[in-house]
Amino acid sequence: MIDRRSTNATTCIAGIGQTPYAKWGSVMDRSELELCCEAIVNACADAGMDVDEIDGFCSFGDDRNQPSLVATTLGVPGFRYANMVWSGGGGGSAAAVLNAVLAVHSGICRSVVVYRAICQGQFERYGQFRPRPLSSFAAPFGLHSPPNMAAMMTRRYMHETGTTKEQLGEVALAFRRHANRNPRALFADRTLDMDEYLAAREIASPFSLYDCCVETDGACAVIVTSPERARDGRQRPVSILAAAQGSGPRFGLGLMGSWNMPAETFATLNSKEVSDQIWSISGLGPKDVDVAQFYDAFTSLIPMALEEYGFCKRGEGGPFVADGHLDWAGGSLPSNTAGGLLSEAYQQGMNLIVEGVRQMRGTSTSQVEDAEVCLVTSGANAPHTSGLLLGRC
């Protein structure tokens, strides 16, 4: 029997920072760079760390905030490491933390900040229907937006497994209830019931409005450092028990481009490689996880993740959700306890990492009692995906 409280983790998350979340396009009084720096300053304050201590910068998803600009704006005297996960969009959030872990563990850096800032009104709206240079193969068929692309994969998954629209609705309802407990969530004050979910306008069959994540402006940051430095900080350190990124064969640009994956893995999240690494590295398994933060750009990604990470067998994810297992109140695997991408904010998965840290500290607005291990997943059917396993120190 594994003692989940004992760990040889060589890195910890010492600080987390956020800006207020706002509807996409509504933040026009500050630049995206200012939002980024605000989140980093907040993370340093949370950790009880001076900004000057940051000597590494990691991001993902084609973040426009180059480390040289961020460091200069913050007044950091210099940095030793800068890294961004290539492509993958939201599949890179946990991978960016992995890169920070490698920098600290190797001794290159003392403290690395992982960040993501999004200001859609100042640049582009991610969910908007538009030509996409990387999707030339799919473009003639009208696949110009993420809901269109994910809908095809989801429809195939539902056909193969018998997952129902109502089961997808239970995902949206559970995460909305969690958001209603979280004052930081964009939908903190807006409840949702099954009748409203089923009556919502269609976006791309089988997706209707509440199957799709919110679109927000904002920024998040986390600070990765050594256990020794983290223990000297202001907050309870959170151990990084495992981190992984990877891809199955022939995924290419995934559903955002090439559509070249094998037919047998088309209706999957492309997370099997990451799942295997997470459990192998940590020595833990699904039964050891107390709380999860699943990448939820669309409701269908949750039953698929439950299956690919080993919580359920293929086809059992939908019934698992319908039985209430994701709920903070009484669920066996409370998930997306701040509301997730569906109801808190869309930060390409960084807000899921922040919430995972809060759960391990014991400070979540939907705190899971005695939680010691949290799984965080990043991305879905993407060129590559990634994941983290966090532990309570």
* Domain residue limits, the chain: 12-125+212-392
Answer with the residue of higher pLDDT: 156 or 253: 156
Q: What is the pLDDT of residue 148?
A: 86
**Confidence (pLDDT) at 88:** 62
Fold category of 12-125+212-392 in CATH: Peroxisomal Thiolase; Chain A, domain 1 (3.40.47)
Residue 276: Cβ within 10 Å count? 15
Distance CA 32, CA 273 (A): 34
DSSP string, 19-81: PPPEETT---SS-HHHHHHHHHHHHHHHHT--GGG--EEEE-TT-S--HHHHHHHHT-S--SE
Predicted pLDDT of residue 5: 44
Share of the chain above pLDDT 90, in %: 80
Reduce the DSSP state of residue 102 to 3 states and report it. helix
* 129 — pLDDT class (breaks 50, 70, 90): low
The mean-pLDDT minimum among 57-66, 185-194, 304-313, 318-327 falls in 57-66
Catalytic residues: 295, 346
CA angle at residue 60 from 57 to 64, to 5 degrees? Answer: 80
**pLDDT over 70 (residue 7):** no
The residues, any chain, with a CB within 8 Å of residue 230's CB and separated by 6 or more, are 12, 13, 14, 47, 237, 393
Residues 204-234 have pLDDT tens digits of: 999 999 999 999 999 999 999 999 999 999 9
The pLDDT score that the predictor gives to residue 381 is 83
Quick one: pLDDT at residue 31?
92
pTM: 0.95
Confidence check: pLDDT of 1 > 60: no
pLDDT at 8: 62
Decide if pLDDT at 133 tops 60: no
The arithmetic mean of pLDDT across residues 181-194, rounded, is 98
Mean pLDDT of the chain: 92
> Greater confidence, 171 or 134?
171
Per-residue model confidence (pLDDT) at position 34: 96
Mean pLDDT in residue range 359-375: 98
Provide the pLDDT for residue 145.
81
CA separation for the pair 205, 49 (Å, rounded): 48
